[in-house]
Amino acid sequence: MSKVHSRVSALRSSVTVGGVLLHLLPAVCLFALFSAVGILHVSSRVLVVDMGYRLSREEAESRVLTRENDRLKLELATLKAPGRLERVAREQLDMAMPRGGAVVSLSAEKPARGKGARAEAVDPAARQPSVRVAGRAGAGR
């Protein structure tokens, strides 16, 4: 037993803390590397899932806003309908269609530019506007 005991004591004297740490260092580094890769993978997957939820919410909001936009376009078209505008003018604003000769449209010709424009501007009789009276075909309404 003394041989075994002497061998154990020889091994104890040759084994140091630095030697043990040196043997464990590759295993610890490998474990740390795998842990870091695992944490990075899990966090990236969590971010992808979160982005998917955000995208789904934004698409749902887009659909709601598109429906609202369509509804507002329909409402605008309804409000701008000529029949509705005429009814509102008659009932709420007490307006009526003008009589046959009440509408007069004046269209003045634009004066020409250049040297000849001054000669035309001097003669007021030459600038008489054309007069057009607008009648209504269905004036009996």
Model pLDDT, residue 139:
45
Look at 45 and 12; give whichever has higher pLDDT: 45
Residue 88: pLDDT above 70? yes
Residue 14 dihedral angles phi and psi, to the nearest 5°: -85, -20
Q: How confident is the model at residue 65 (pLDDT cuts 50, 70, 90)?
A: very high
pTM higher than 0.75: no
Q: How many CA atoms are closer than 13 Å to the CA of 4, on its beta-carbon side?
A: 1
Q: How confident is the model at residue 132 (pLDDT cuts 50, 70, 90)?
A: low
